[in-house]
Amino acid sequence: MKRLLFPAIVGLLLCVGMSQCKDRPNIIFIMADDMGYGDLGCYGQTLIQTPNIDRLAAQGIRFTQAYAGSTVCAPSRGILMTGLHNGHAPVRDNVPHYPTYLQDHHVTVAEVLKQAGYRCGGIGKWSLGDPGTEGRPLNQGFDGWFGYLNQDHAHYYYPEYLDSGEGTRQLPGNVAHKTHYSHDLMTDWALQFIQGSHGQPFFLYAAYTLPHYASSAEDETQFPVPLDIPYQGRPWTQAEKNYAAMITRLDRDVGRMVKLTRDLKIDKHTLIIVTSDNGPWKQAPKRFGSAGCLRGAKRTLYEGGIRVPFVAHWPGVIPEDRVSDEVITFWDILPTLAEVAGVQTPENVDGLSVWRALLGRKLVRTHPYLYWDYGHCRARYDQAVRLGRWKGIRLGLGNAIQLYNLESDVRESEDVADQHPAVVRKIAEIMETAATASDRYPIGTLYRGAPIWQPNWNRK
């Protein structure tokens, strides 16, 4: 049996200290895959319709300086789950693909919330442990999971199976006939989970795959969606229509979740968060300006790769129509939700609770710096540090550090490193010490082997 870093009795005692375990808010954490900072109407998008998420922002709070854990999928999810930043987390890059990333000694958000009596369910893309490994979600605090455990399997929207608990749900012939769109099946599971949790506090982690590109073998536009409604009449390419339809479909299902909480009369006792795991794919249709005003995209450490939309909504608790410029990160999610649930945060996490920021207040405790890196097993290893208003980026070991003042230059268009040598030196020191060595990620060693996972559409 998995041993946690803090005893389960803590949660039970805290339940007694608060009115009742059942009085703790439900938590619905919705995370898109590769949705950019500029893809939502509430962040300035004018062509893609996202009325439901925009309404959550109008009735809650929208953050302008929220950061993902990483610039790619797997590490960003691992950082969210463990509260450890990119230099300490067990998952630091998308490659090499290990059969399992998380291990028994790692403590996740779900395990922390279970201390408070939460029922924990997840859908979508896990990326942190394949079936039968220590990293699988049912070994990491989740009571149920439906979707994709493997990172590469999630590149298919019409698979012949989806992972379901400790087994699979078979969808024979789906590749050829495109009968079952995985996003729709996962939404149905999520709605059933919410319905089935009525009367018990629950945590739903909805790690959707929209609008991530698909395997080109599945759809030539690389953005497969059953219908391109409501964009079918636009003078756009099919890829543009599909990309927009993906985001609007996601928005539709956010609205369905919100409506269900109202129908169940639990909306005033439910915290809903909507965000994205990293910036947009650089091949996303240019028409929409998915990165907004930001430079860069997924797989870069410029703001467009790591700054993400982040909306929080809780009627009667989070004030309406607020915009916050407080700096928050994915490694803050674990301690924040621990505070919301009234349980202790595990020791030695990098995150800080930002619950005050979600309430529209100024943070008292802030990070001395934020750290990201990328490219451990590639030809170039990049690092980035945010230090107050300063952002330092180094593209490759031994290269000069670029410096940007994000207060006056959010587009990162003017490198001012020569004007602020002391700041550059401080950032260089942080880059040298922020990451602890990991034999999983030998920096500078190119990964040339085949992925451990290979498609097996007949897995039982």
Would you tell me how many other CB atoms lie within 10 Å of the CB of residue 148? 24
If you search the block for the tokens 């803590």, which residue do you land on?
Answer: 10
Q: Domain segments of the chain: what residues? A: 24-367, 371-433
In angstroms, the CA 351 to CA 367 distance is 8
Q: pLDDT tens digits for 121-136? A: 999 999 999 999 999 9
Contact (Cβ atoms closer than 8 angstroms) between residue 92 and residue 441? yes
In angstroms, the CA 66 to CA 306 distance is 9
Q: Look at residue 17 and tell me whether its pLDDT is greater than 90.
A: no
The reply to whether domains 24-367 and 371-433 share a CATH topology is no
* Residue type for position 116: A
In angstroms, the CA 306 to CA 326 distance is 15
Whole-number pLDDT of residue 11:
42
Q: pLDDT tens digits for 89-130? A: 999 999 877 778 999 999 999 999 999 999 999 999 999 999
Confidence of residue 446 (pLDDT cuts 50, 70, 90): low
Q: What is the fold, at CATH topology level, of the domain defined by 371-433?
A: Arylsulfatase, C-terminal domain (3.30.1120)
Mean of pLDDT over the chain: 92
Give me the percent of the chain exceeding a pLDDT of 90: 85
Whole-number pLDDT of residue 378:
81
Q: pLDDT tens digits for 235-252? A: 999 999 999 999 999 999
Contact (Cβ atoms closer than 8 angstroms) between residue 66 and residue 104? no
If you search the block for the tokens 């249709």, which residue do you land on?
Answer: 285
Higher pLDDT, 378 or 337: 337
Helix/strand/coil (H, E, C) string of 345-374? CCCCCCCCCCHHHHCCCCCCCCCCCEEEEE
For 25-51, b/e burial (b = at least 16 CB within 10 A) is: bbbbbbbbbbbbbbbbbbbebeebbbe
Confidence of residue 265 (pLDDT cuts 50, 70, 90): very high
Q: pLDDT tens digits for 152-181? A: 999 999 999 999 999 999 999 998 999 999
Give the N- to C-terminal CA distance of the chain in Å, as an integer: 25
* Whole-Å CA distances, 192 to 161, 236, 260: 19, 36, 10
Output the six-digit token pair for 407. Answer: 């207060």
Mean pLDDT of 269-273: 98
Contact (Cβ atoms closer than 8 angstroms) between residue 356 and residue 339? no
**CATH no. for 24-367:** 3.40.720.10
Mention every residue, 6+ apart, whose C-beta is less than 8 A from residue 399: none
- The pTM for the full model equals 0.93
428 sits in which H/E element: helix 421-433
If you search the block for the tokens 């916050």, which residue do you land on?
Answer: 324
Mean pLDDT of 440-453: 58
In angstroms, the CA 243 to CA 211 distance is 7
Q: CA gyration radius for the chain?
A: 21
Handedness of CA 120, 122, 128, 129 (dihedral sign): positive
Output the six-digit token pair for 222. Answer: 């690389």
Contact (Cβ atoms closer than 8 angstroms) between residue 176 and residue 116? no
Secondary structure (DSSP) of 1-35: -PPPSS-THHHHHHHHHSS-GGGSPEEEEEEESS-
Output the six-digit token pair for 391. Answer: 């952002």
Among 312, 74, 107, 315, CA closest to 207: 74
Among 302, 365, 372, CA closest to 331: 372
- The strand ranges marked E within 71-126 are 119-125
